[in-house]
Amino acid sequence: MGHNVPVPPDFHFQPAPGAAPLSERPLLIVVGLTGVGKTSFTRALGWPLLPNRRTLVDRYLLPRLGADPARLDRAQRFALTARWRAAHPGGIAEALAAAYVEPVWPLVFDGLRGEAEVRYARERFSQARFVVLEAPAAVRLERLLGRGEGFDRVRVSREEVARFRELAGGVLTQEELDRLLGLGHPLETLIEKLKIVAEEQKHYHPEGPRRALAGSPRALFLDTTALDPEAAAARVRAWLEEA
C-alpha cells in the first residue's frame, strides 16, 4: 500500500459519481476504547481522517433513533447505541459499511469498539487493516481526567457519590483507585469519568477486538502505555509498507 496523500472527501450515504462503497476500499480502521490514545495517535500519523465515530453516530445512527445529539450525555449515547446494536449486531461498523467515498488511499477511520463491531468489519471490509490501541482502565481514566473535553460529561447522582468505591470496584483495583484519589481531582469529576469508563466497558469488553481479530495478518495491536503516539505511528507506517 503506497501513500500518496490527497485530502479525503466527506463520506455520504447515497451512491454518487466517482464514489465507491467504503466497504470495498483499502481502509485503516483504528480500534480502541475512550482514553486509549486514538486522537494522539491519528494526529501523529498525520494522514487525513474520515469523519470519526462520534460524527458517524451523530449523522447516521441517532437520527434513525429520533435522538438529538446535542441533548445527550455519554451514558445516554451508550444506551442509544446499545439499542442500535440490538437490531444491528455489527453496531457502528454496519453504519460505516453504508457509506460511499471517493476511492483514494490512505483512508483512516477512528474508530470501532468491541468484539461484534470489529468482527463485522473484519468480514465486511475485506481490504481493511486494523490498528488496535490498548491501555489499562486506570490509564484511560487518568487520561480522561486530564483532557478536559466537554464531550466527556455524564450525570452523577448523590447516591453514586456515596457509593463511588463500589462503582470503581468493577474497573479499578484498590491501589489504582487510591492513586487516582491522590491526584487531587474533585471527587465528582473523578466519579464522572469513572462512570464513562465503567459504562463503556459494560458494552464493549476490552478483550473483544483481540478475540475478533485472532490470527489475522490484517491486525496490529499496540500498547499505548509502552509506545508514545509518534512511535506507534512509525510502527503502523512500517507495517503497512511491508504489506
Average pLDDT over residues 34-47: 94
The tens digit of pLDDT for each residue in 84-114 reads 999 999 999 999 999 999 888 888 999 899 9
Q: What single DSSP character describes residue 41?
A: H
For residue 149, the model assigns a pLDDT of: 52
**Would you say how long the chain is, in residues?**
243
For residue 180, the model assigns a pLDDT of: 86
- Contacts (Cβ under 8 Å, ≥6 apart) of 36: 133, 134, 135, 140, 224
Banded model confidence at residue 12, pLDDT cuts 50, 70, 90: confident
Q: Which range has the worst mean pLDDT, 6-20, 184-198, 220-234?
A: 6-20
Buried/exposed 162-186: b ≥16 CB within 10 Å, e otherwise:
eebeebbeebbeeebbeebeeeebe
Q: What single DSSP character describes residue 130?
A: E
Banded model confidence at residue 231, pLDDT cuts 50, 70, 90: very high
Q: Are strands 100-101 and 128-134 parallel, antiparallel or unpaired?
A: unpaired
